[in-house]
Structure 1
Amino acid sequence: MDSEIRQLAASLGRALQSLGWKVTAAESCTGGAVAAAITSVAGASAWFEGSVVSYADRIKREFLSVDQKDLEELGAVSESVVRQMAVGVFNRLDANLAVAVSGIAGPDGGSEEKPVGTVWIAWAHGEGQEPVKVDARCMHFTGSRADIQAQTVVAALQGMLDIAESHRTS
């Protein structure tokens, strides 16, 4: 595992522990790499609830409550779907912060509209009675399948760290 990923995961753990928050993930194109990065940190069980690798649309629908119509009309690699994935895993695994990733890691599967390297990431966060907030971004990564997956993990972890740190200072 890349040292940047290890450092981000460790920093995330420290930030979450200071908040008393729990984190979770719903992953498609990364196949569990976000969870692997998090669980590489000793003591992660204090702040990591678990994750769902929702590679199949059926899992997105049945476990994460993603709308079938959105999957059909927009595709799994879309803002709407990744937002629903984040909220679904946030609610299902009872966390304060959740990340969801869905993308086209290649080398095949891209299109003119969604080329290989297109990745949507969403972060859902909140605590107590506060409503869930969801932020989402479309990113375009380059390189091999492994490169795209690693870049996605870095972006997912950095986004969670940014959210946790913003709550620490507010």
Structure 2
Amino acid sequence: MNDKPPQSFDDFTPLAALVVENLKSKGMMVATAESCTGGLICGALTEIAGSSAVVDRGFVTYSNEAKSELLGVSPELIRSVGAVSGEVAIAMAEGALSHSNADIAISVTGIAGPGGGSVEKPVGTVHLAVACADRETEHIHCSFGDRSRQAIRLETVQTAFTSILNALSKVSGR
């Protein structure tokens, strides 16, 4: 795989195709739960012909209310640790898994900027989680730095795809 940061949406085509191929080979379906990427992960997957065999659904849960209503994330959890946290990313991924027919779910929540960061959670802070049935949910914490909004979102999508591939390498499929 290419270590060069993605520059555009089109840069994901080979990686998205690899994710789709791996899901097909394992007979698995994926769901996405996206906040800061606003549906880019699901969008990139569905650019691939034949992705309907492996993409179950995508949740765009940009607001805290959407995270709670669509994914079952506890409002108390969001209040106590903040929407941009590992705990919320895990709850989002597990919620996407339980509110879908998917076998694997990826979630992302972060601060893409240019504003909205803090000392504790600066711009470029992103939390991802991958949930699979019968496995502990994996959390990935990224610090992409105070870069452009597009750069942070594109790097998040790339990280999501590599995280899905990593998780798929650990499961036997159906």
Q: State the TM bucket, normalised to the shorter chain.
A: over 0.9
Q: Partners in 2 of 1:40 and 1:166 — Cα distance?
A: 25
Residue number in structure 1 paired with 2:139: 136
Residue number in structure 2 paired with 1:166: 170
Aligned 8 A contact 2:9 2:44 in 1: no
- Secondary structure of 1:166 counterpart: coil
Structure 1: segments with no counterpart, 5+ residues? none
Identity fraction in percent: 38
1:148 aligns with 2:116: no
Kindly report structure 1 stretches of 4+ aligned residues shifted beyond 3 Å: 1-4
1:83 aligns with 2:86: no
Q: Partners in 1 of 2:10 and 2:114 — Cα distance?
A: 25
TM-score, structure 2 length as denominator?
0.91
Aligned 8 A contact 1:8 1:161 in 2: no
Q: Partners in 1 of 2:45 and 2:51 — Cα distance?
A: 7
Q: How far is 1:55 from its partner?
A: 0.4
Counterpart mapping for 1:1-170 below 5 A: 1-126=8-133, 131-142=134-145, 143-168=147-172
Q: Partners in 2 of 1:107 and 1:59 — Cα distance?
A: 22
Give the alignment's Cα RMSD to 1 decimal. 1.4
Count of matched residue positions in the alignment of Structure 1 and Structure 2 = 165
Q: How far is 1:152 from its partner?
A: 0.2
Aligned 8 A contact 1:100 1:123 in 2: yes
Amino acid at match of 1:85: M
Q: Partners in 1 of 2:172 and 2:99 — Cα distance?
A: 25
Structure 2: segments with no counterpart, 5+ residues? 1-7
TM-score, structure 1 length as denominator?
0.93
